[in-house]
Amino acid sequence: MRQLERCKGALPEAWAINSHFYDVESGRLELDARGRKTGYERFDIPIARDGGIADLLAEATHANRRFDVVICESTSRVARRMFENLSVERELERAGVPLFAWNEPIKLDGGRAQQILQRRINQSVAEYEVYNALETSWGGLCTHVREGWNIGKPPYGYAAKRYRHPNPMKAERGATKTRLEPDGARARAVTKIALWRYYENLGYSTIVDRLNADPDLYPVPEPPGGRARARGAWSKSAVCDILRNPKYTGYQVFNRRATRSKHGKVNDPVLWVWSQQPVHEPLIPKWMFDELTGRRQAKRGSRDGNEPNTHPQTRRTYVLRGMIQCACGRRMSGNQRHRTTYYVCWPRANNRGRPETYPGHPKTRYVGESAVLEVVTAFYADRVFGPHRRELLAADLATVDDREARQREAEREQGRRTLADLDKRQENVLRQAQECEPGDPFAAGLRQTYNDLDARRKDILAELAELDAADAAEPGRVTMDAPELLDALPYLAFNLVQAPQELLRRLFATTQLSVRLHAHSDDVTLTVTLPADYLPEIADAAERINDTMPAHTQKPVTRNRATGTRVDAVCAPGRIRTCDTRFRSGIESLPGGARRCRRAPSCLISALWRRTPSGSWLPVPDRPLTHRARTKPFVWEA
């Protein structure tokens, strides 16, 4: 109404307003995005609406338009940005319709230079005010978050705890601020989801099935739209959002999504606004969240379990599926050729025409399954279930580099001693100040000394908080108490190579077996994780394998612990690319699908076999696997 009354007051006597065009959307929107919806109906505006800005421009081009000129309170009401403002002015000028404003002089004749100058100044000031308001508001939101206050609806697992507003004027009006606190069963559900994902490496579908199996223990989340949009069950998107939300680490985080400018698209993490330190109780440790974030790409597209793929052409599955990674970070896919199982990394398959995505990578890289299983068997027999596992782990712990942790502990101890000294000095200053007369200059000096000591004390406390945060950001380091975890596992002697595939896969999945190839050598690194909460499941999986193994196979696979198993794992399986039929006569088939080369070395991973008096073939476990008389030791990591 204010705008209409001002426009009427600025009109010449013979002029009258016969139509009204207005929008309720933001003036910063582009012209084609304004006036398209019916949001204006929500407002009780007592002015008949003839259309929006788009309708105004469309009617201005007609010969029988209802108006001769257009007037507004200010050109900033047409559009907040200079470009859109000039576009509207230019379109009306082309149609022969002048644009006037209440805060500008209306001149029908004479020069327009002064009028144009004033209008451009007003348009520039209007755009400046918009950006200044946005930047000021943004700065206030960032300060709000850095101080630990929450914005918007609390994420699942947290509840909002209200505090009196720190601004006295706003507090008198009843304004409050909120922080996050754990929300009972929902908070426990979030922690459980993270544990399943981290320790069992479960996919979203499996986690959703476990959550929906007990909705009383794991309450179903409610979407921002309220119960009207709730589906009454867990979904993969809900689990994904929880595992991607950094607020569960105890930090307050803002600007994760561009809700207005990019329609909810996730911003780059460098644009996120974090609180300076944890401000609420974490439901997921920071180090676990970082590792889950790093694993996400490696886990992407891999299903849980070891069931065959649902594709109709699927013939088999692979025991090490998803557990072998190339040095480039890609998962190696299983394949079989001439009864030889191997895993391959072929980056060109999914990056055709984009060679820059894998610079320096070999065209194809292979690793034989039999060679990896031999080494994995020795690893589990010696390091996990062997009688000397405790001594081997203790020897490895003696070589762990924990200099940074010890340095932080030394700094923390020094800070504690400094705090104790500062407390004593402050007590002495207070005692001396009590003995001074009022107005004594010496008392003023003591007051300054006390304030300096207190400032130093606050600095020491801040340094100690940073040291604690650095320790909390790192995963728990292995200590000399870690071998006690191994004592909870049984001593077993079995050869995993001949174990049933489904039980073998269960053991590898529970212990999170990871095999990673090195970039410029034939070495690989084995990593096994023994979560304390899942030791009974690991022991049960191993005992099931032990119960199903024949008696003659329940023997430990002995290896030289000083050098490890020697094997050239990375080579082309099956026939070499340059082979022809003359090589076939030099390969003798052995039991179990293995082969032995009699005439010339091939690219097979060849094991040495011994013929028994009965005529059957048995492997020689104490002899290394070889290829072209070239051997490389495996690198083991507990």
Whether residue 69 is predicted with pLDDT greater than 80 in this model: the reply is yes
Q: What count of other Cβ atoms lies within 10 Å of the Cβ of residue 394?
A: 12
Domain count, the chain: 4
Look at residue 284 in the predicted model and tell me its pLDDT: 93
Is 478 a member of any domain? no
> Which of 61-65, 103-107, 164-168 is least confident?
103-107
Which one is predicted more confidently, 28 or 527?
Answer: 527
Whether residue 218 is predicted with pLDDT greater than 90 in this model: the reply is yes
Whether residue 565 is predicted with pLDDT greater than 80 in this model: the reply is no
Look at residue 229 in the predicted model and tell me its pLDDT: 67
Look at residue 441 in the predicted model and tell me its pLDDT: 77
Is 457 a member of any domain? yes
Whether residue 27 is predicted with pLDDT greater than 60 in this model: the reply is yes
Please give the helix or strand (H or E) that residue 204 lies within, else none.
helix 204-213
The proportion of the chain whose per-residue pLDDT surpasses 70, expressed as a percent, equals 76
Question: Running DSSP on this structure, what letter comes out for residue 349?
Answer: G
Q: Which two tokens stand for residue 116?
A: 């144009």
Look at residue 508 in the predicted model and tell me its pLDDT: 85
Is 508 in the same domain as 382?
yes
Is 413 in the same domain as 549?
no
Is 393 a member of any domain? no
Dihedral angle at the C-alpha atoms of 479, 482, 483, 488, nearest 10 degrees? 170
- CA 204 → CA 87, 169, 232, distances in Å? 50, 48, 17
Is 139 in the same domain as 180?
no
pLDDT, tens digit, 9 for 90 and up, residues 89-99? 888 888 888 88
Look at residue 253 in the predicted model and tell me its pLDDT: 92
Look at residue 357 in the predicted model and tell me its pLDDT: 64
Which amino acid does the sequence have at 488? Answer: A
Q: Return the SS3 of 302.
A: coil
Is 497 a member of any domain? yes
Whether residue 591 is predicted with pLDDT greater than 70 in this model: the reply is no
The proportion of the chain whose per-residue pLDDT surpasses 90, expressed as a percent, equals 11
Whether residue 16 is predicted with pLDDT greater than 90 in this model: the reply is no
Confidence of residue 166 (pLDDT cuts 50, 70, 90): confident
Which one is predicted more confidently, 624 or 169?
Answer: 169
Q: Write the CATH number for 75.
A: 3.40.50.1390
**Which of 245, 278, 299 finishes a domain?**
299
- Tell me the C-alpha distance between 607 and 567, whole Å: 10
Residues 6+ apart with CB under 8 A from 476: none
Is 339 in the same domain as 376?
yes
Dihedral angle at the C-alpha atoms of 600, 601, 605, 610, nearest 10 degrees? 50
Confidence of residue 608 (pLDDT cuts 50, 70, 90): very low
Q: Are strands 340-345 and 514-517 parallel, antiparallel or unpaired?
A: unpaired
**Which of 278, 299, 320 finishes a domain?**
299
Confidence of residue 587 (pLDDT cuts 50, 70, 90): very low
- C-alpha torsion sign, points 236, 237, 240, 245: negative
**HEC string of 252-285?**
CEECCEECCCCCCEECCHHHCEECCCCCCCCCCC
88 and 78 in contact (C-beta within 8 Å)?
Answer: yes
Is 323 in the same domain as 457?
no
> Which of 45-59, 169-183, 560-574 is least confident?
560-574
Is 378 in the same domain as 495?
yes
- Tell me the C-alpha distance between 516 and 531, whole Å: 20
Is 149 a member of any domain? no
- Tell me the C-alpha distance between 515 and 253, whole Å: 35
Whether residue 423 is predicted with pLDDT greater than 90 in this model: the reply is no
Is 199 a member of any domain? yes
Q: Which two tokens stand for residue 583?
A: 């090589």
Confidence of residue 191 (pLDDT cuts 50, 70, 90): very high
pLDDT, tens digit, 9 for 90 and up, residues 273-293? 999 889 999 999 998 898 888
Structure-token match 């340095």, residue found: 407
Is 204 in the same domain as 127?
no
Is 272 a member of any domain? yes
Is 625 in the same domain as 587?
yes
Structure-token match 């500008």, residue found: 104
Is 153 a member of any domain? no
Is 84 in the same domain as 179?
no
Q: Are strands 265-266 and 257-258 parallel, antiparallel or unpaired?
A: antiparallel
Which one is predicted more confidently, 49 or 623?
Answer: 49
Look at residue 599 in the predicted model and tell me its pLDDT: 30
Best-predicted range by mean pLDDT (100-109, 465-474, 604-613): 100-109
Q: Which two tokens stand for residue 225?
A: 């739209």
- φ, ψ of residue 68 to 5 degrees: the values are -110, -30
Look at residue 180 in the predicted model and tell me its pLDDT: 94
566 and 631 in contact (C-beta within 8 Å)?
Answer: yes
Q: Are strands 158-164 and 176-182 parallel, antiparallel or unpaired?
A: antiparallel
Stretch 437-463: mean pLDDT: 83
Is 454 in the same domain as 417?
yes
Domain, as residue range, for 468: 403-473
Q: Which two tokens stand for residue 534?
A: 């899942």
Stretch 453-460: mean pLDDT: 87
Confidence of residue 379 (pLDDT cuts 50, 70, 90): confident
Look at residue 301 in the predicted model and tell me its pLDDT: 61
Contacts of residues 29-37 at CB distance under 8 Å and 24 or more positions apart, as own/partner, are 30/84, 31/57, 31/79, 31/84, 31/87, 31/88
The conformational region for residue 322 under phi > 0 = left, psi -120 to 50 = alpha, else beta, is: left
Encode 213-228: b = buried (16+ Cβ within 10 Å), e = exposed. eeeeebbbbeeeeeee
630 and 568 in contact (C-beta within 8 Å)?
Answer: yes
Look at residue 489 in the predicted model and tell me its pLDDT: 80
> Which of 44-58, 343-357, 407-421, 423-437 is least confident?
343-357
- φ, ψ of residue 297 to 5 degrees: the values are -70, -35
Is 520 in the same domain as 635?
yes
217 and 185 in contact (C-beta within 8 Å)?
Answer: yes
Which one is predicted more confidently, 580 or 16?
Answer: 16
Best-predicted range by mean pLDDT (37-41, 90-94, 386-390, 427-431): 90-94
Whether residue 337 is predicted with pLDDT greater than 50 in this model: the reply is yes
- Tell me the C-alpha distance between 86 and 369, whole Å: 69
Is 437 in the same domain as 549?
no
Confidence of residue 590 (pLDDT cuts 50, 70, 90): very low
> Which of 80-84, 209-213, 565-569 is least confident?
565-569
Look at residue 444 in the predicted model and tell me its pLDDT: 78
CA nearest to 511, candidates 540, 487, 532, 531: 531
Q: What number of H helices and E strands is found in the chain?
A: 17, 19
**Which of 473, 499, 526 finishes a domain?**
473
Stretch 103-119: mean pLDDT: 80
